[in-house]
Structure 1
């Protein structure tokens, strides 16, 4: 009996079944099937049904096929036994689902090539196996079980090899769809309603680069070499944002993975034959990348760095809106300053703050930042974040009320509308301008700093994850997962900002 597992790939749950040991030479180590949902409860229900169906695939007839094929390959069983087996069990083999017939074809092809090398005198059997393979593919495509059984039986019976004209007559038309692959992107997106706006932006960039490499060729004609060319294109693509002058390995990995996700979807839909796209690898890591520690990729601010940030001109006086990093007389606290203050005191993601409403929600008497609609990265991202005393002291409640009264979002200044990516670039430039130039230190690092604040408060880890918007994967985390008023009061009473910000108190 195969053992099923559930695993999450990006945002979609998949069923992974470990194949019985005696079938692995034919069916590989695992069989993976998408459950086509990001909801764990729905996925579990579908997994039970799918696992039952998949376990039904591993039948005695297949074990016998494997044993004989393996025996022929090892020269322990005669080729005649394989011929007879194919003839005797043609109907049973023809009734097997696609998952088996594809592997069966590959196994037969291996025997065919081996026998051709061993014994050129048996060229007729070599030809018959080729015909069996092509006929199985044709009949499977058309759903003709009887035709498949007839092809197996006639091929195994060692009839006279058909002519070239006859072979062409039974060859199927090329599988898949002839549509240019970019025309299928809207359909792909409709099948992925869980994609967040930022994810869609990332896929859009990937698809533009892929089209630059392979053009608008029909989806059914996309080959494994196309994806290798795409990976090489990204490897050599110039980048002004990287110190090496080329794309970072993580960027290459993300885009190649997104291209593979699209192709797997096309294969699952029957638009394209799987040609081993997942086997394509990106460039290896450089020595510098191998030596880089996880905390060097993105880390929290140190107390000294927080002092540098909150003592900078944006908070103590700047020259003009276009020269925010230059000291000057302007003291107005605009959305740039508030963005950094809010992120440092709530740990909210950039995209969440950029789209959050100004109207606060209350858990009894505790005001909270409302990320119910703005939080979309995970299920736990939809949450309320209590306003801690340090943030209240800086006048945040009054700022939010003014924004709400004007009918604006939290980060809406009434003039320029900025996307999350635009906010990220704008604020990261400011960090560079004030001397915080460490590559591992970005605006998002304030989220890491807030996580440290939650840990330092000795809160229950489930409460920490509810406030922070992380999923734990634990069974108990799904019960009472919404933050309670009692838990909100704990956050307010225990969480403290690591440095004093008395100079920012506007009360």
Structure 2
């Protein structure tokens, strides 16, 4: 008996060639290949034997699906390979034949015991165990077939397959509709989304087809969308991720409805699991996390990692902590965005304050999340003490277009797209901050948190960070928000227990 055991690098894999005549049942795949998740040969051999037995069952089910007619006379081989109902009906028919053979041989108790063991195995797979290369649809179908055999409910399985077959025929009978990639092209041509969004939508549709098989938009049903959602949940995707993927589909299906490509949106009523509360999903930096980041060699030894983009590695975390600004807003700053403004205090005396003007400028490639993001942020004295203004003056004297010229845009044009990947690695692997709820964006949460602790008025807090509340009055902010309360609020802001790192050597 072949072992089907192979090795990639140090890890062992199961690899079995699918016979040519069975490949239609596997969407054209040539092999069953998956990682055994171990580098130990003895353990890999044991897992491989179990996988081989399971793959025998999978191939038997596929062979039965191709050879056996469905309830309405159509070949199950013509059905989509991951059609749960058709797959379950074919598997049930194959199990019936095996049970009849076992009965004739006087070995029915052994067969029933094996069927019960298989039922427990499939449930373990659905509960998050190793699926041994089976798709979620196949596991669910095999579980249903085994359960129907043991409970005598085979008629329901066969009836369900007949219903699905009729629905498929009706869907195929509809006028021709585009495939999802073609629909994305039409949607992108009209909506003009960013290139990053188009790529995300394409990845979602590729994932959707991997679960449901390639089919035109008019043939996609709510059951397909539910199957996609179930797969995402089974893979451990966060509720927000599931919701995002479903929203990608909804936007495409809504577009198709608006343009009379389909009559109804099959994803309209499909909901993602409840999302975690925001404060549970993202944490502010506590004292230990701040110490880990600002105690790294970047701040203590003057190191400047190549991927950290020079001085951006030093300044961006500090700016985020003391402004609450988004990473993209800080990365695109220009020397001319740092200005000194004059205002009048409560005694009508002229005062001056250094501010960061966070603005949108299409001509210069500066973009913001929304209109309320246009704003002025007073520069905290801590940043001034570290030499930030001198750093900006040096950039201005050199004629730099941006304050952080070493930031290299990613393929979507995001000036901080590559940098944020470096910071994620630096935060986890170098600084040792392992809690995934703490990210660079947590600096923004930290500012809001510590500003509230310092007693800053909510309106001032929102004006500094560019948040728009639900009140109509909150909309009158941005660049026109009065400067005195912003300056006074920033003067009150402090991070308890946080000791500033030393300034860069060039600014001391």
TM-score, scaled relative to structure 2: 0.54
Q: Distance in 2 between matches of 1:478 and 1:196?
A: 26
Query: Which position in structure 2 is the counterpart of 1:305?
Result: 289
- Verify: 1:431 aligned to 2:427, yes or no: yes
Query: Which position in structure 1 is the counterpart of 2:228?
Result: 230
- Verify: 1:316 aligned to 2:300, yes or no: yes
Preserved contact between residue 354 and residue 423 of structure 1 (Cα < 8 Å): no
1:257-316 per-position Cα deviation (integer Å, ceiling 9, x unaligned): 22112212221232211154222344x57xxx9xx7653321111123212221211110
1:316-349 per-position Cα deviation (integer Å, ceiling 9, x unaligned): 016673698xxxxxxx962212221111111111
Q: How does 1:103-502 map to 2 (within 5 A)?
A: 178-189=177-188, 192=191, 202-213=200-211, 217-237=215-235, 246-282=236-272, 294-317=278-301, 321=305, 334-362=311-339, 363-364=341-342, 365-373=352-360, 374=366, 376-404=368-396, 405-413=398-406, 419-432=415-428, 433-479=430-476, 481=478, 482-498=480-496, 499-501=498-500
Deviation at residue 192 of structure 1 after TM alignment = 4.3
Preserved contact between residue 347 and residue 450 of structure 1 (Cα < 8 Å): yes
Mark the runs of 5 or more structure 2 residues left unpaired by the alignment: 1-169, 343-351, 361-365
Q: Distance in 1 between matches of 2:311 and 2:180?
A: 45
RMSD across aligned C-alpha pairs, in angstroms? 3.5
Q: Distance in 1 between matches of 2:195 and 2:388?
A: 27
Task: Give the number of equivalent residue pairs.
Answer: 315
Deviation at residue 387 of structure 1 after TM alignment = 1.2
Deviation at residue 252 of structure 1 after TM alignment = 1.7
Q: Distance in 1 between matches of 2:203 and 2:404?
A: 26
Distance change (3 Å), C-alpha of 1:473 and 1:198: farther
Q: Distance in 2 between matches of 1:444 and 1:415?
A: 20
SS at match of 1:385: strand
SS at match of 1:359: helix
Query: Which position in structure 2 is the counterpart of 1:329?
Result: none
**After the TM superposition, which of the residue ranges 425-434 and 203-212 deviates more from structure 2?**
203-212
Distance change (3 Å), C-alpha of 1:462 and 1:183: same
TM-score, scaled relative to structure 1: 0.54
Q: Distance in 1 between matches of 2:248 and 2:201?
A: 7
**After the TM superposition, which of the residue ranges 315-324 and 246-255 deviates more from structure 2?**
315-324
